[in-house]
Structure formats: C-alpha cells, structure tokens
Structure 1
Amino acid sequence: MGLKRYAAALAAGIAALGAGAAWAQDYTFKLHHFLSAKAPSHTEMLVPWARAVEENSGGKVKIEIFPAMTLGGRPPELINQVRDGVVDIIWTVNGYTPGLFPRTEVVELPFVYLNDPAATNLALYEMFESDLKEDYQGVEVMFLHVHSGQAIQMRETEVRSPADLEGKKIRIPTRTGAWVLEALGATPVAMPVPDLPQALQKGVVDGALIPFEIIPPLKIQEQTDVQIELADKTRLGTTTFQVSMNKAKWDSLPADVQQAFRDASGPDWLREVGEVWRGTEEFGINMAVASGNTHVTLTEEETEAFRQALEPVVERWIEEVTAKGIDGAALVQKARDLIATHGSM
C-alpha cells in the first residue's frame, strides 16, 4: 500500500472510530404495542412517557413507538418479543399470558380493585420490590398500571343482576376476569382487544368486560346498545398492564440513562396515568350515550348482589396462589389497604 493510500485509510479509520464514539452517546429503543396510534393509551400515555424519558436523558435517548403490532406477531407474543430481545420495550396486558404474573393479579380481583386507577397504580408501585418483582423474569419493568376497570358492555342485554349474565358469552382478556364470568354464570371468551369489534358484530360474544375508554378507538358504540357499571363507578375488577424493557438491554445502559427512565416512571407519573385513563373513560361513555346507547349505573343494593356472588373469586385466587407458595391472603389485604390509603389522598 502506497503512503498516500495508507494515510487515507488511516484517516478513514480514525473518522469511523470517531463516528462510533459519537453514536455510542445515543440510545435508540423500539417500543412495540397492540393498540392503534389513535388510542388514548398511545397518544396520552405512551407518547408523553417516551418524550419525558428523552428529555430526561438530555437527548441521549430516542424511543420509536410502533403501535398496532406493526413489528409483527400477535398481542400475546409481546412479552416474549421483549424477553428475547426482538424489541427493546413493550406495553402489554399481563393477562394475555395467563398465569405468568400471578402475584400481580391481586389488584385485578373484583372488590380488591374498585374504581380508582391512580390509587391502584400507586399500590402496585409500593408493592413491586417487596411482593411482585419475582413475576418479571427477563424484563426490567418501567412501570405497571391498571385501566379504569371492567365495565359491562352488551350488544342488547341490560344487566342489573348476576342472573342477567347467565349463559351469555362475554369477552375478557385475563383469567381473573374469566373467573368473574364463571362465578356469574356466563361463558368467558378470551381474545385480545383488537378482535373485539368483529366478535361483537358477528355475535361471537354477547358483550365484554372492558372499560369505556375503548369505545372511541374501536367504535364499540356501533356494536353495543348498553354500557353498565356498578354503584360509585365500581367495576368487576381490572386489568394490569406493563411497560417493560429487555433485561439485558437495561443492564447494558449507563446509570444516567437508566435514571432518565426511572425519573419518568415514578409516583407522580403513575398518578397522572390513572387520571388519563379516568378522563378517557368519561369521553368514551359520553360518546356511547350520544350515539343513543343506554348507560346503566347499578344501585348499592344491586351492587351488593355482585359483591356476594364474586367473593368466591377472591378465595379461589388465594387458594391457587397459596398452593404455589405465595401468601395470597396477605397480598389481598396489602393491596386493599394500599389502594384505600392512596385513594384517600
């Protein structure tokens, strides 16, 4: 190699090393989830959270969000996609992989969760390190949250008592929700939420346990006539979600970048997430009513009938997880106490 060519090659090599060093200051992450880019969970939760992380990092972090499973696969595959490193971060429903997160199911139980997503988010935050972390092998949890709870949305039937659900086919995304339906004499039908509109339209299901916030993005008001909730906006349990990063990816990050994620995911944010979901809930039910649907709120007496019918669901969960070496009774009491404490703040 001639001297000039050697010098040129050396200069190119040094330039490449310099570019590599500059690139190493930037961290790009792919966040994959199952709802559309128009869903409130995308526009009002995931996008603001990603932007907050980027800002906290001083420009070192970029989070690219891929909604509606645009990177491939189906919603139940998200947890394995992030564990296997196919994507960096996911937002998913814990219940899409039944039994994988048994401890965290405690807040999903009927009348453990009542009607306050912010209080429940904060309870999850407090319980994570001491009680829940073992559920999350292979991932680093950014934050856990719940939605506003399982309202009853029906194609035709006005539900005012457990008997009104007997024999009905009802969609639910979680096994705890399936137990609720079994206790009420209904038939649970598991499916990811994007499949619900077609299932309602074709009569595959008679209704769904799902919050009102999903009405606008999936146009549920067009496939249902009746939306039902219990007294004081009480719901038949809730669903837990996680935003989690691949564990190896997390461990490779410098402390300041990790802190950028942590600072965006603390108690203030979890309280805000609860308020976001509650706000979108009001928007959803108002849209259904404006479309001519009937909004039913049960009386205290009618609600008590559901409470009595569903107490065995809590006992069933305690018995099952206790057999796995988990103190289910203690988790139920702790969750109830923390939700009550944060709900009174």
Structure 2
Amino acid sequence: MKITLKSAALTALVATAAQSAFAQEVTLRFQHFVSPKSANPTYFMQPWADKVERDSDGRIKVEIYPLMQLGGKAPSQYDLIRDGVVDGGWVIPGYQPGRFPEAEAMEMPFMVTKKGEEASKAAWIFTQKHLMDDFADVKVIAAHMHGPGVVHKKGPAIAEISDFDGVKLRGPSRPATLLLSKLGANPIGMAVPAFPEALSKGVVDGGVITWEMAPSLKLDELTDSHTDVAGDKSLYSLFFIWAMNKDVYEGLPDDLKAVIDANSGFETSALAGRAHDTGDIEGKQVMIDAGNEIAEINQEQTELMKALGEEVVAEWIEEVSQKGLDGEALISDARAAVQLTEGTAAPLE
C-alpha cells in the first residue's frame, strides 16, 4: 500500500510539473512615447493588452509603459524592440528618416482619408505587400495610421497658402516636412514628446499633429488656432507599427503564439486606427471648449495645396527610384490600398 501511495504521489507530482510547464505564464513589457491618457493607449493599447490576457486565460500579462518609462528615446523605439530592451511597443518608422523609405509612400500628402480606421486597413495591406522584409527582425502585430493631420499654431488660423510663409512649424516625418517647406513654412522635425516644450520656448510657432493628441500636449493652452484642410483626404498622416521582439515571440509556446497571432493583422490594425478616430472627436471638442479658433482651409486653397503635395510625391518617386526602389509602384499600390478601404469605417459608437 505504501509503495502504491508513493507511486501515485510521484505520478501526480510529475503530472503537475508537466501541466505547469505547459501552462507557461509570460509577462510582456510594451512601451510607448505619449501620455497614457491619449487615444491610442486608451482605446487600443490597453484594450489589446486586456484581450490578449483574456484570450490566454491569464497566462499572458501585458504591461504598458507610457512616456518611454523603460528607457530610450522615441526615435530609437524600433531598435529597443529589436534588441530586446523592451518586449514590444509602438514605433513611428519615420522618426528614423531614410531607414524605412518604402513606408513613406503611405505618408505622402493627401494620400489617406481622414478616417484612421480606413487608413489603417490600407496600411496593413500595403505593409503585407512591401514592408514585411523591412520589419523582418521584429514581430509586426499591427500597422496603422492616425486621423487627419491638423495645423495647430499660435495666433490666427491658416486661411491660405501665403499664411504659411516663414512660420516655424513642427513636422513629424520627412514627407510632412517636405510639404510644409513647399507651402513656405519653416519646418522643424521633432518627435512628439519635444513639441510642447518647443512651443512654450518659442522654438516653433506651431506644428502639425492630430486632434486626439492636442489635449495631452496642452495645445488648448499653448496654441490659439487649429486648421484642417477641406475634403476627405488628410493633409498628412503618420505610419505606425505595434510590434514585438521576435525572439520573445518565437520563444512562446505554440498556443500563446496563437493568441498573439489572433490579435494581430488586418482587424487589429483597423482597431488601432479607430482609436484615433475616437480620440479625434474628443480632442477637437477640448479645443472648442477652450475657445480656440477652429478653421478649415477652403476648397480652392486646398486644391492648390494638393498640387504642391503632388510635387512632393513626384520628387519622392524620383529620389527613391535612384536608390533602386520602384517609386511609382509604391505610390500606385498605396493609392490602390486606400481606394480599396475607403468608406469601410464603421460608425463610431
């Protein structure tokens, strides 16, 4: 009887150990560079983390760290993820100009619609065709865009192109700064965390950024006017990826990899863009409530701006083609993806 009991206990111990090994628990540390109260962390990152935890029956816990709390600077976020300094995070490839040139096709002036959800669906389609090799050393979970890029500045709103002359404006990406230069502004490239201080110290007179980011950057206090363009196409938009360290992903058990995979891709990208759409409504209202000037450039001036945007596109095609890329095909495929997804955004609740 003693031998039987010991054998049973040993069998139970081995089974428990095997079950424990199978039911591996993982904590993933993801990092971003904006306020935790801004739209993407609120309406995408945290819900994504919560869903991953639910879908894994609690075996995956995702910790979200805002404002680069785990170290490093926003422009180096891709490398931090690749090198395993963090397990995952939010990346703007355009913060490293020239490193991911093909991604710039999605960021061209007036390329995407003002609906972040639609633009993000297009971004995922384009990414699958052109960018997976560029991002081969990380696990891409989502590729997305934000909503309309708006000019926020001190003083009166922009009414016509001549109002850009000599105005020092923060630009978030190379395509955006190229367009601002064409418009006559003095573009100053900088990552979003540096924008409020640059405004307060007079380094810039304003900048282009989304409605949803405006409250967390205190643009209701630091600027006086907010100007969008006419029509359904965005003055500019940024391309983002939500990505994970590849070795960490590959080291997961197959069933946990499946959870990450199920929360990656086209629909996940759409949710990331939709988060910006929700935040844009809220952010714009904060600017309105502050009594700031809300303006829209008329259709005639917008068409002139679009023509300047086409000059940026043509020059970009020539530039990247000289580097061995098919610039015309990249722009054509970006536009095709936008056309395919235009009008597909679901109504916001």
Give the counterpart letter for 1:211 in structure 2: T
Identity among equivalent pairs (%): 35
Q: Distance in 1 between matches of 2:203 and 2:232?
A: 27
Equivalent in the alignment of 1:292: 291
Q: Distance in 1 between matches of 2:333 and 2:242?
A: 23
Q: Distance in 1 between matches of 2:265 and 2:137?
A: 21
Equivalent in the alignment of 1:70: 69
Distance 1:154 1:234, change over 3 A: farther
Q: Which deviates further from its counterpart, 139-148 or 98-107?
A: 98-107
Give the counterpart letter for 1:136 in structure 2: F
Structural mapping, 1:96-107, within 5 Å: 96-107=95-106
Q: Distance in 1 between matches of 2:249 and 2:98?
A: 25
1:167 aligns with 2:166: yes
Equivalent in the alignment of 2:347: none
Whether the 8 Å contact between 1:161 and 1:306 is mirrored in structure 2 is: no
Q: Give the gaps of 5 or more residues in structure 1.
A: 1-10
Equivalent in the alignment of 2:34: 35
Structural mapping, 1:142-221, within 5 Å: 142-221=141-220
1:316 Cα offset (Å): 1.7
- Deviation string for 1:201-252 (max 9, x for gaps)? 2211011010111111121110111100011353221011111111222222
Structural mapping, 1:1-345, within 5 Å: 18=17, 21-22=20-21, 25-232=24-231, 234-345=233-344
SS of 1:160's equivalent in the other structure is coil
1:254 Cα offset (Å): 2.8
Distance 1:314 1:226, change over 3 A: same
1:325 Cα offset (Å): 2.1
Equivalent in the alignment of 1:5: none
Q: Which deviates further from its counterpart, 156-165 or 299-308?
A: 156-165
Q: Distance in 1 between matches of 2:111 and 2:294?
A: 24
- Deviation string for 1:295-335 (max 9, x for gaps)? 11122112101111221111122112222222121121121
1:27 Cα offset (Å): 1.6
Distance 1:57 1:20, change over 3 A: closer
1:159 Cα offset (Å): 0.9
Q: Distance in 1 between matches of 2:152 and 2:183?
A: 15
Give the counterpart letter for 1:163 in structure 2: S
Q: Which deviates further from its counterpart, 257-266 or 294-303?
A: 257-266
Length-normalised TM-score, structure 1: 0.90
Q: Distance in 2 between matches of 1:190 and 1:343?
A: 30
SS of 1:310's equivalent in the other structure is helix
SS of 1:46's equivalent in the other structure is helix
Whether the 8 Å contact between 1:155 and 1:223 is mirrored in structure 2 is: yes
1:194 Cα offset (Å): 1.7
Give the counterpart letter for 2:181 in structure 1: E
1:20 Cα offset (Å): 11
Length-normalised TM-score, structure 2: 0.89
1:273 Cα offset (Å): 2.7
Q: Give the gaps of 5 or more residues in structure 2.
A: 1-9, 345-349
- Deviation string for 1:29-78 (max 9, x for gaps)? 11011112222221111000111122222322111111111111221121
Q: Which deviates further from its counterpart, 22-31 or 105-114?
A: 22-31
SS of 1:110's equivalent in the other structure is coil
Q: Distance in 1 between matches of 2:76 and 2:29?
A: 15
Q: Distance in 2 between matches of 1:168 and 1:97?
A: 24
